[in-house]
Structures are given as structure tokens and as C-alpha cells.
Amino acid sequence: MLRMPLIALIALVLGANAGSLHAQDWTGERIKDLAEVAGVRDNQLVGYGLVVGLDGTGDQTTQAPFTAQSIRSMLSSQGVQVPPDVSFQTENVAAVMVTANLPAFARPGQDIDVTVASIANAESLRGGSLLMTPLRGADGEIYAMAQGNLTVSGFGVGGEDGSSITVNIPSAGRIPGGATVEQEVASPFNSGDTIELTLNTPDFTTARRMADAINEELGPETARAKDAGAVSVRAPDDPDQRVGFMAYLEKIRVHPGAAPAKVIVNSRSGTVVVGSEVRVRQAAVTHGSLTVTITEDFDVDQPPPFGEGETVVTPDTDIEVQQEDNPMFLFGPGVRLEEIVEQVNRVGAAPGDLVAILEALKQAGALRAELVII
């Protein structure tokens, strides 16, 4: 019973002047940037193939026997029968894996980019051509066919003495538009009487505000927040009207909820990211580094000529201790991000030192945020 008023409202909204849409007059983020339509996504494709035409940088037969098997199978499919006792030299051929992403709503005949990577011991794929390779989805069906000349950004050179230098990765490359879509993946976009929006970052506040913004624009009970990660929206049954409905829906602006207070620490690279909502309770912090330098020299004690003594080597060790005299600084209650950065920079803390300070604050109960170490 609510279907006809909703469709009429959509037609009225889409036919109105864009300048009259007050949803665009206030700040916020578009639904298009905050959420995606459930089920409308890319699909991963993968295939096994051969790259030919290499300049002696392909697979070594003794270490990659499957490359020779693949060549034999390929020649057999072309009507060339090779005796079983004939061996192959595969220096100009490389066995590769081919991967691609099949975009949502891709139609047969469209081209997609593919990535080609060696799976054996080929030194470089530069100058090679990929032979026709079927790309399959997770269900085993063929969705695209790939073929073409590779673009390789890396290269490597070496000398006879064993020295070598490599720039980037020469054993992988890409073929822009190198695969042709053979069949499309069924999409749930036009099925059912609702569209489900999945939030890129699940958040209860954002989901609630998104549902309220949609209801304000399209009428009460048009949308409802299912949980922190999904908002269900009633949509017209007609595919053309549904596309127009989504074109308007994704332009509605929403104020997302504030991000949770987190401090992200990458222990491998030393990168530290402090969120804007991070707060520090009142605490006093001091930080200094202790440097111990040990140098050792050797003195030779030489006996006089024609003496009966022996030459003795004696070590001479010098130990130097340096300790930075950094003052203690005070965090007041409810300190914000800018003040945290200013205080830490005052003592000249390196990323590794900053991690130690944050961990100590967390242990003391003064850091009002989740400390995530990756």
C-alpha cells in the first residue's frame, strides 16, 4: 500500500530543480562515500597461463618441470604432437598466475585489467606476451579470457662475477584491458523490495543518522537501521526507477558519528597514528635516553732487546655513559590531540620512544583510548 506514494515521491524529487534540494545545502558526507549496496561488489578471478617471447629470462626446466608440461599441453591443443622423449628448453617461457577483479555490473565484451606474476624461477617477464588464459571465479566458472603483451616496470641486470642489481619487481607485470568479460555475474540489486546499505565503517550513530536523513528526504519509514553496519531502504520494483532512486539516495548527506578513540602503533615501521578523540587524564611524564659507549684498544708490552720476557697484548677499555637531561612534563585532565603532540615533541621523542610513553600511560590508566599494536 505504501509503494505508490514512494514511487510518486521519487519521481517528484528527481524531476525537481537541483537547487531546491536542501539536503545539499548543509555540510556532511554523502551516503555514496559512507556505504555500499549489499551484494554489489567486485569478484576476484584467477587463471594459470604461459608468457612467451622472453629473452632467456624464463623458467629453468630442471626447477620448474610443470612449465614444460604446460608447453606440451598447449602444443597438443594446437594440433602439434611432441614425442614423450623430447625435452624442452623453457628459457623463453614462464609459467604465471593471472589475476583480475571483475567489477559489478560488468557486461560481456567489456575489457578489464589483469595482473600477471611468475610462479616459478623466471628472472623477468619484460617483453613477454601472455597466451590466451581463462580466468575463473570462486565457483569454477570462466568469466573472462586474458591475452596480450605485458607492461613490466621493473628490471634487473647482472654481471658474470655474480653481481646484480634489481629495480622494482621484474617478475610481475600488468596488461591494461588485457581480459575480455565472457559472462556477467548475477547481481541482487534488482531483487526484492528493499535495498540494503552496508556501512564502510560500522557505527551505531552513523547508521541511525543515515536512516533519519533518508526518512527526512523520502518520507517516514522509508529506511530503518538494522544494526551498526546496515541500513535497509524501501525501493521501487521497476529497475529504471530503482536506478534513479539510488542516484538520488547516494547524494543525501549525513553527519557520521565520531570515530572511536584509538592509538594505532605499527611496531615494524614505527608509525604511530593518534585519533582525534584520544584524551589523556592528568599524568606526569618524563623521558630520557641512556647511551653507553664502550671502546676497547689494545696495547703491546714489548720486553727490552735480548731480554727473557715475552711480548704481551693488554686491552685498554674505555666506558662512557651519556644520559639526556629531559624535564618532566605534565598532562592536564582531558588533554586533546594537539597538546599530546606538542608535549611529546618537546622532549624530542622518536617513534619508538613515543610507543613506550603511550604504553606507560595506558598501564597507568591515564590514556583514554584503545591502544592497538599491529
Instruction: Report in angstroms the alpha-carbon separations of 160 from 17, 163, 164, 166, 226.
Output: 73, 7, 9, 15, 66
Three cell numbers, residue 101: 577483479
CB-based contact 156:165 (threshold 8 Å): yes
pLDDT at 62: 75
pLDDT at 224: 93
Give yes or no: residues 64 and 77 share one domain.
yes
Using CA atoms, how far apart are residues 178 and 152, in angstroms rounded to an integer? Answer: 14
Using CA atoms, how far apart are residues 132 and 171, in angstroms rounded to an integer? Answer: 19
Identify the three-state secondary structure at position 135.
strand
What is the arithmetic mean of pLDDT over 341-352? 64
Give yes or no: residues 93 and 209 share one domain.
no
- Number of independent structural domains in the chain: 4
Give yes or no: residues 170 and 213 share one domain.
no
Element containing residue 326 per DSSP (H, E): none
Split at pLDDT 50, 70, 90, the class of 341 is low
Give yes or no: residues 81 and 206 share one domain.
no
pLDDT at 208: 94
DSSP letter at 260 equals P
Split at pLDDT 50, 70, 90, the class of 96 is very high
pLDDT at 355: 73
What is the arithmetic mean of pLDDT over 17-31? 57
Asked if residue 9 has pLDDT above 80, the reply is: no
Instruction: State the residue range of the domain holding 297.
Output: 291-320
Give yes or no: residues 250 and 295 share one domain.
no
What is the arithmetic mean of pLDDT over 116-121? 92
Give yes or no: residues 87 and 97 share one domain.
yes
Give yes or no: residues 203 and 105 share one domain.
no
For β-strands 194-199 and 370-373, DSSP reports them as: unpaired
In this predicted structure, which of 89-93, 294-298, 349-353 has the lowest mean pLDDT?
A: 294-298
Q: Which of 181, 202, 233 is the last residue of a domain?
A: 181
For β-strands 370-373 and 262-265, DSSP reports them as: parallel
Identify the three-state secondary structure at position 308.
coil
